[in-house]
Amino acid sequence: MFQYTLRRILIALPAIFGVIVVVFAMVRLAPGDPAVMLAGEFADQATIERIRERFGLDRSMPEQFLTFVSNLAQGDLGRSTRTNRLVTEDLAQFFPNTLELALGAILVALAIGIPAGMLSAIKRNTWVDAAVTFVALLGVSMPVFWFGLLAILFFSVELGWFPVAGRGSFAHLVLPAITLGVSSTAIIARMTRSSMLEVLDQDYVRTARAKGVQARSLIAKHALRNALVPVVTIGGLEFGRLLAGAVLTETVFTWPGVGRLLVDSILARDYPVVQGAVLVIAISFILVNLLVDLVYGVIDPRIRYD
Amino acid sequence: MKRLARIGFVLLAALTLTAWASAQNLVIAQGTDAVTLDAHDVTDSPTASIVSHMYETLFELMPDGSIEPHLAESYEVSDDSTVWTINLREGVTFHDGTPMTAEVVKGSMDRFLDPDNAFTFRFLLDRIDEVVVTGPLQIELRLATPFAPLLAHLTHNTTAIVLPSAVEEYGEAFGENPVGTGPFQLENWDRGSRIDMVTYENYWGDVPAIDGVSFLAVPENTTRMALVESGEAHVAVRVPPQDIARLNAAPDITVENVSSLRTIYMYFNHTLEPFDDVRVRQAFNYAVDKQEIAEFVLGGAVRPSDAAIAPGIFGYTDVGEYEYDPERARELLAEAGFEDGLSTTLYSPSGRYLQDIQITEAIQSQLAEVGIDATIETLEWSAYLDKTREPAGENDVPVALLGWGTVTGDADYGLYALFHTSQHVPDGSNRAFYSNPVVDDLLDEARVTPDPSVRESLYADALQIVRDDAPWLFLHSETQLVAVNDAVEGLVIHPTERVLAWNVTVSE
């Protein structure tokens, strides 16, 4: 298992390097110039030149790349051209916030999605199943932006139950986590349902049922565990997506996460921050996937790593 | 034991509640977080609002357009207008206790002027050759040539006095560790989310009545308005025009409408046909109904332009709107050889200025009525700035929407960079490639003339010529829409697009 983990991490390194190269090139090929952005409508050429020089943007692209990679090897991601802050400091501040939000959202999704999917599978083709399917469809198709704003207007402005925006207490997390988790909840519920149905049709389940195992224990002990493998896969992928794709929720709820940092930096052509944020997101995505693969073995002992 | 804990808990809860109730903290919701808290490095107005609570300038531009000494106490100008002697206020201290002296002020100005620091607004003061300390509380600003707008430029928030020893101490991190002389000092900066400031008890002027002020960064309009509606914030800036009526209907909220120094216009690229023809440019001006746009696209929240700069700026004169006259527009187009109409492209940002793309769409449909077939091109802001500042010959943007905030309150800043021949992009900001030697002379002269009344008449002449040359499709000056809770008194919504809480009181 240790060897497997190590091998997976080694395999991930070229992927991460690829991400670095692509992002480095992409931000620079996009039209727009960080120096012009900084100087704004008020810019004169001399000021722009000075700003370029200040951030080393007057040097050639290969030269900039070499500097970037050699600094990266020392754990230095450079300074933001917009705020002059160390990129590593920015990420250390923003990434945990995103992690907190994504964890909240995936917990919401698992806590609601799995029971709902099971219920739907057990009560197959009844009104319960139809209702769960309908709500799930609604959840997937609802724009995050719209759902979040409605939640604010109803639960915060009308009822005053939760704060409108910002981060801090547990109450601050509730609405953003639900908003971000809605579509994942729906996907996990659908996945659980179909996976559960498949398992319930298996021979061993039929055998168990024939020898008189109680329905409750049958579902919990025999069916669920096997049905969960694909759910874990989807859950992991969803979690990775939530880490990278929380920008809309972060914007609606003023959540200071890495998604908003990334979008703001792209708009300002803040190259060092864009590079750093994408790097962190890519690494966390790879780690989550690795974790999912390791969890398989825990759920299903037949899966071996060698 | 359990009981004791319970009593303790109740006590603690009661204590926090009273503390919360008695602390008067003003909460202001803006669209974005501060970029930096280094006063010299600020380039955007939300950051300027925040920084203006912690730092102060030598002179202050009052909301009515007058200029008052602030950290300066008085000043004198030599007969040849090249030496400005400034006497500094006594008893001013920085947040760390350091007293403000002439040495400190010189250090701050030298830092601002150092080309290596590459501050965007350095050009405001770059006419100063040398800052000389002539007494414990007296400095001299020495200029090579007279520069009349200097006083106005010394009111700009980026010229604020920072503490040089703190700059030295914190180095690159000074932007996170601000040390100024302002009535509030930084308590906490939760990046991307909020900035909390507490009152500076040893402030030289009137110590604020509130205990602190917080700025929240809330990019989404609906969320920002919801914060004021739920009472979590006292103030929310940039109210969307469609929300004005709803917010005003709430019992405890008023939407303030304060004019801004920002003018919105579309410029014509004079290097491209047919915009080298004044008749075509004037035809565009007659073809667009500015009143209708102001009313229906912007909810009445703007003021149609009757000059290239907004009222409230020194040097402004009403030189007359282009009245809506589609008939006259058609005549002028026919005279210029376009009786069958013409087609062109309107460039527009989307989301940069209040309702910008909606304004461009309204203009497009009004132009169609006089036979001008315009297509709209929008670019993301960074690409937009880049494309519109290409040099003549390469620049193929014919017509583009932009805004300009004359944040010094002096016409020089509003006119020189936009209309002087020496300022054609990419060297300056004259994106229209407008050039008129008479205007150049007037602007040059107004720069070096000390007498304000003479300057005013020079600018009036320049504005009149610019109006008749029609290098722009003149649109409107913006107003700032700010939702304010009725419990708040004394909030200043400054024409320079800053919200200032210096003199605020909050009633229970």
Are B46 and B73 part of one and the same domain? no
Q: Do A254 and B382 touch (CB under 8 A)?
A: no
Higher pLDDT, B147 or A41: B147
Whole-complex ipTM: 0.77
Q: Do B175 and A90 touch (CB under 8 A)?
A: no
Which pLDDT score is estimated for B17?
Answer: 41
B38, B404, B427 ranked by CB distance to A44: nearest? B427
Are B305 and B352 part of one and the same domain? yes
A147 CA: distance to closest CA in chain B (Å): 12
B5 lies in a domain?
no
Are B280 and B378 part of one and the same domain? yes
Are B357 and B490 part of one and the same domain? no
Are B223 and B360 part of one and the same domain? no
Which of B167, B192, B213 is the endpoint of a domain? B167
B32, B43, B218 ranked by CB distance to A40: nearest? B43
B93 lies in a domain?
yes
SS3 sequence, B120-188? HHHHHCCCEEEEEEEECCEEEEEECCCCCCHHHHCCCHHHCCCCHHHHHHHHHHHHHCCCCCCCEEEEE
Which pLDDT score is estimated for B14?
Answer: 44
Are B157 and B300 part of one and the same domain? no
**Taking Cα atoms as reference points, which of B448, B449, B482, B446 lies closest to residue B462?**
B446
Interatomic CA distance for residues A89 and A79, integer angstroms: 9
Are B45 and B75 part of one and the same domain? no
Which of B118, B142, B167 is the endpoint of a domain? B167
B144 lies in a domain?
yes
- CATH number of the domain encompassing residue B233: 3.40.190.10
* Contacts B191 to A, Cβ<8 Å: 90, 93-94, 256
φ, ψ of residue B275 in degrees (nearest 5): -85, 5
B175, B193, B426 ranked by CB distance to A83: nearest? B175
Q: Do A164 and B227 touch (CB under 8 A)?
A: yes
Can you give the pTM of this predicted structure?
0.84
- CATH number of the domain encompassing residue B271: 3.10.105.10
Domain that holds residue B438: 259-479
Are B116 and B213 part of one and the same domain? no
Q: Are B434 and B469 in contact (CB under 8 A)?
A: yes
Beta bridge partner(s), residue B130? B142
Q: How many residue pairs from chains A and B have C-beta atoms closer than 8 A?
A: 142
Q: Are B57 and B86 in contact (CB under 8 A)?
A: no
DSSP annotation of B424 reads B
**Taking Cα atoms as reference points, which of B142, B148, B160 lies closest to residue B72?**
B160
pLDDT digit string (tens) for chain B, length 508 residues: 445 445 444 444 444 443 343 468 999 999 888 989 999 988 888 999 999 999 999 999 998 888 999 999 999 999 999 999 999 999 999 999 999 999 999 999 999 999 888 888 888 999 999 999 999 999 999 999 999 999 999 999 999 999 999 999 999 899 999 999 999 999 999 888 899 999 999 999 999 999 999 999 998 888 999 999 999 999 999 998 889 989 999 999 999 999 899 999 999 999 999 999 999 999 999 999 999 999 889 888 899 999 999 988 999 999 999 999 999 999 999 999 999 999 999 999 988 888 899 999 999 999 999 999 999 999 888 788 888 989 999 999 999 999 998 888 999 998 998 999 999 988 888 999 999 999 999 999 999 998 899 999 999 999 999 999 999 999 999 989 999 999 999 999 999 999 999 999 998 7
Higher pLDDT, A195 or B368: B368
Are B244 and B346 part of one and the same domain? no
Mutate to test the interface with B, among A36, A55, A83 (most CBs of B within 10 A): A83
Q: Do B191 and A256 touch (CB under 8 A)?
A: yes
Structural domain tally of chain B?
3
A37, A47, A153 ranked by CB distance to B118: nearest? A47
* Contacts A164 to B, Cβ<8 Å: 223, 226-227, 230, 232
B456 lies in a domain?
yes
B244 lies in a domain?
yes
Q: Are strands B492-494 and B372-378 parallel, antiparallel or unpaired?
A: unpaired
A106 Cβ contact partners less than 8 Å away, ≥ 6 residues apart: A181, A184, A235, A238, A239, A242
Q: Are A7 and A294 in contact (CB under 8 A)?
A: no
B468 lies in a domain?
yes
Interatomic CA distance for residues B48 and B13, integer angstroms: 37
Q: Do A37 and B190 touch (CB under 8 A)?
A: no
B11 lies in a domain?
no
Are B325 and B404 part of one and the same domain? yes
* Contacts B232 to A, Cβ<8 Å: 163-165
Q: Do A163 and B232 touch (CB under 8 A)?
A: yes
B2 lies in a domain?
no
Are B213 and B324 part of one and the same domain? no
Interatomic CA distance for residues B92 and A143, integer angstroms: 54
Are B50 and B64 part of one and the same domain? no
- CATH number of the domain encompassing residue B77: 3.90.76.10
